[in-house]
Structure 1
Amino acid sequence: ATYGQAEGRTEDRPLWLGSVKSNIGHTQCAAGVAGVIKMVLALQQGTLPKTLFAEEPSSHVDWTSGNVRLLRDAVEWPAGEEPRRAGVSAFGVSGTNVHIILEEAPEPVENETRSDEPESPVLRPVAPAWVVSGHTADALACQAGRLREYVVGRPELPVGDVAWSLATTRAALSHRAVVLGGDRSGLVSGLAAVATGQPTTGVVTGSVIPGGVGRTVLVFPGQGSQWVGMGRELAEASPVFAARLAECAAALAPFVEWELDDVLAGGHGFEAADVVQ
């Protein structure tokens, strides 16, 4: 309703309201990103998709207080003079509330004066390397093929911009290839070689050695939320929980110098980081 009352919003420009839940159901922690994906596709296709099972608006909502309408049918959403925007909300039962505003990206501006050809016949620019990776050798080949198709279909893309994006915005997976070339055609040919598994000059492939430097792991233990006696009342009331708790205590026993029951009772190590985690 807040957005529906925005200045300049007329009757023929309502705030359209939809939900991704009607399409794929409850997704818990993935609900927010699912809503973002849905709206990005709506911007891309120029259509606000229909929200299913919304034929009867809720009687608990005052639909007249703001210029808000349900998407009971698909609505065309063409680009206009101002950028299109959409708000995405995600509300979790744990109390997590998130709202973001998406705005369509500006159309790429063609630069007719920019060229990959050298301005001087003496100093020729060196085309940068294009890096590609995948979880497996087949995934690497597929990624190279998709990249080649994308670049061939967009000849206006500067090779330097492509190289920068590949090197800084993509994950470095275990199977990798580096494509070198003197110009765009050489780089595209190198991608084709990676996609088909053919060795060629200007392409270096390899994989990460197992046992090398590992990836960073972030730990979120919930430390600080424990209290003395936590779980003990439930263990007394539920034989199933008590049995599982005993299994955990037995599994920990060979590796620690403390007992789980003592810790839950507020004994040794209750506040120690290595014990709580």
Structure 2
Amino acid sequence: SSFGISGTNAHLILEQAPTAPERPAPDPAARPALVPWTLSGRTAAALDAQRERLAAHLESHPGADPVDIGFALADGRATFEHRAVLLCAGTDASAATEIAHGSVDDGASAVLFSGQGSQRLGMGRELHARFPVFAEAFDEIAALLDRHTDRPLREVVWGSDAALLNETGWTQPALFAVEVALYRLVSSLGVTPDYVGGHSIGEIAAAHVAGVLSLEDACALVAARARLMQELPRGGAMLAVRATEEEV
């Protein structure tokens, strides 16, 4: 009601607000095992001062959540030239370790896709469970590669036979699938490199993300390359020659 000189009366009957649904408890398995904390300052001294303020905050707030701290540092602060990155493992915010410290410039960025030797059983499984972008990309690539193999790729990558995964015929398709899915994931987070390159099977991954090869063509090439190299007789060797083309 509003009672003024002119006098205006209004009445409105409101019913009880609906009961808010209960929010499910956070899934402990969904918490990242490592949380990055990003710090920056206009000068090296300012960066060191921010690191000291963070240490003081952690000392006065022993129960601080590492995920909350990481989000606040990444989303609530400006980014300056001098930067540092700390990694916090588990739930103990006081156990953060600095992994990078320095200054940045306007140089170009690049992504390098690796070759054989970087594979391991279970690679990509946790990313698949946590990030829909990675899962969608990996499933799409695996489905295309499965057209050329005698069993599903994920059974080998996420299986228990390390020797089978280490066979060239499976190593190369597995690395291609994980590498391209990883690239899709970081791209969705806003990372856009100026250059891409690759070593061995990584060259095909680089060619695909650069737009040289379609995904279907790249998968067919990866499968054929892996099969042909697997069929080579055992006992071969590799030689690196430090000489010019004319000398060779």
Which structure is richer in relative contact order (CA contacts within 8 A, separation 6 or more)?
Answer: 2
TM-score normalised according to structure 1 size: 0.27
More helix by share: 2
TM-score by length of 2: 0.29
Q: Which has the larger radius of gyration?
A: 1
